[in-house]
Amino acid sequence: MAILDIRGVSQTFGEGETAIQALKPTSLSVEAGELAALLGPSGSGKSTLLLAISLIQPPTTGRIEIGGTVLHDEGPTGVDVRAFRLRHIGFIFQQHNLIPFLTARENVLLMLQLNGVARREAARQAAELLDYLEIGHRADSLPARLSGGEQQRVAIARAIAKRPAMLLCDEPTGALDGKTGRLVLEALLA
């Protein structure tokens, strides 16, 4: 089954003579369990596409179906997009991922609790995930006290905590050096 199916998704910012087409009409399908990578030079519309897919920034044209639910079809379809995104989509950005005034553990806990996991169970799962990503020993640190690679591993823990149907990553290793980037990529693929 296709976890993601998009047809004719495009994005234009502004109107008239100053309009900028950030993304030409794009169609693609990704199977459940499949790993797909978007490759393209800076400014080619990769981030714009991810923001459109997740409907953080709905597209100008096109249809977006995730896990059999049509979230957008040339306009809203009546599905509660915020609730759907919270439950089914994990997002990891290049940087500025974590809430700065919450510890690593609290960042993961918050996502679980927003998804309705009870406090005790959320605490257990958060600890398990942070251990799994080998940052359990930094669980009570604020993001600013962690290295870039550690921060991204917390971001991965938070994104996969709710077991999303789809994980969207926008250059998750872009702010890291090569070696740290490889570690984060390995954690992501594990």
Alpha carbon distance 111, 15 (integer Å): 37
Alpha carbon distance 20, 88 (integer Å): 31
Q: Does the protein bind ligand ADP through residue 16 (CB under 6 A)?
A: no
Residue 57 CB, shortest distance to ligand ADP, in Å, is: 8
- Per-residue contact string for residues 23-42; x = within reach of ligand ADP by CB under 6 A: -----------------x-x
8 Å CB contact between 84 and 90: no
Q: Give the nearer residue to Mg ion in terms of CB position, either 47 or 97.
A: 47
The interface partner of residue 13, options being Mg ion, ligand ADP, none and the CB cut-off 5 to 8 Å by kind, is: ligand ADP
Which residues within the stretch 66-95 sit at the binding site for ligand ADP (CB under 6 A)?
Answer: none
The interface partner of residue 48, options being ligand ADP, Mg ion, none and the CB cut-off 5 to 8 Å by kind, is: ligand ADP
Q: What is the amino acid identity at position 177?
A: D
Alpha helices per DSSP H over the chain: 46-53, 81-88, 104-114, 119-132, 148-161, 178-189
Contacts of 31 (CB under 8 A, 6+ apart): 1, 2, 3
Residue 146 CB, shortest distance to ligand ADP, in Å, is: 25
Alpha carbon distance 104, 111 (integer Å): 12
Q: Does the protein bind ligand ADP through residue 20 (CB under 6 A)?
A: yes
Residue 62 CB, shortest distance to ligand ADP, in Å, is: 15
User: Which residues are near ligand ADP by CB under 6 A?
Assistant: 13, 20, 22, 40, 42-48
